[in-house]
Amino acid sequence: MKQLLIFGLGYTGKAIARAALTQGWRITATGRDGTLRFDDAPAVLAAIGGADAILSSVPPAQGLDPVLEAYGDALKGKRLAYLSSTGVYGDCGGAWVDESAPVVGKGGTGRRAARAQADAAWLDLGAQVFRLPGIYGPPIDGQGGRSAFDRLREGRAHRVDLPDQIFSRIHVEDIASAVLLALESGAPAGAYNLADNLPAPQNAVIEEACRLSGLPLPPLLSPQEVPPASRAFYAENRRVANGKARRMLGWAPRFGDYRSGLRAIWDEEAGV
């Protein structure tokens, strides 16, 4: 049985683990719901030694990648995958970006620089680095859902008067399918964008979720009225191209746009 070690069994990690189990992988993981304590170095090093593949979903903290800081030397020569972010491309003014686009902030400080530096470090180790846009999906194994329905119910959804602002997104199950294809196929190391086929304004996603659920539309805010915690999100504008993952992995998103993804979540919640 193939052994997959996951650093960080959070929302996306759980989706990948669930899909991997159905394909005959045995899972070992760190994280609150994992089987290993991250700081139990002997156990983690043993798990690294016995793993056929290793995935990290752990983001940088305080400017450093915790996994690389603690176990980077032990990871050399292993089959590696890392969940990164399309945020490494920065604001692109709504343009399409593929993996050849420059990564911004690598020489700087702050959250973006830390993410870019971690992205580069995993690439240097020979990892398959999956750059992800906004992630959404249903509840997974006790972990709450991440969708426009959840934000609407919790009063966290916004519509913002930025008609030219475009974002890409990805259903969590499509991340899992791409990562497993990459690990199973022996695809080369390197960066892979994972995104659906239809970048769209965030307002369109919220409006579709309201249409499906019957929940009321949130008010339309001016950019100045956006809560501070959400301003960084609305400060960027890009369309993420997924052609390399399609070509190199033989992957295509099951949920090619936000409409099909939201419909599947709504039907699952309704027990359809």
Q: Kindly report, residue by residue over 204-244, the tens digit of the pLDDT.
A: 999 999 999 999 999 999 989 988 888 888 888 999 999 99
Residue 95 phi, psi dihedral angles, 5° rounding: -75, 160
What is the CB neighbour count within 10 angstroms for residue 180?
22
* pLDDT above 80 (res 110): no
H helix or E strand, kind and range, residue 6: strand 2-7
- In the chain, the percentage of residues whose pLDDT exceeds 70 is 97
Q: What is the structure's pLDDT at 193?
A: 98
Structural tokens at position 212: 């499906």
pLDDT digits (tens, 9 = 90+) for 153-191: 999 898 999 988 999 999 999 999 999 999 998 899 999
CATH of the domain at 258: 3.40.50.720
Query: Across the strands, what pairs with 84?
Result: 131
* pLDDT above 80 (res 109): no
Residue 152 phi, psi dihedral angles, 5° rounding: -65, -45
Confidence category of residue 272, pLDDT binned at 50, 70, 90: low
Which DSSP letter does residue 110 get? Answer: S
Domain hosting 112: range is: 2-270
Q: How many CA atoms lie within 13 A of 126 on its CB side?
A: 12
Q: What is the pTM of this model?
A: 0.95
pLDDT mean over 185-200: 95
pLDDT digits (tens, 9 = 90+) for 66-87: 999 999 999 999 999 999 999 9
Q: Which of 86, 79, 20 is nearest to 55 (CA)?
A: 79
The number of domains in the chain is: 1
| Residues composing the chain | 272
Distance of CA 176 to the CA centre of its chain: 10
Close Cβ partners of 211 (under 8 Å, ≥ 6 residues apart): none
Q: What is the structure's pLDDT at 230?
A: 82
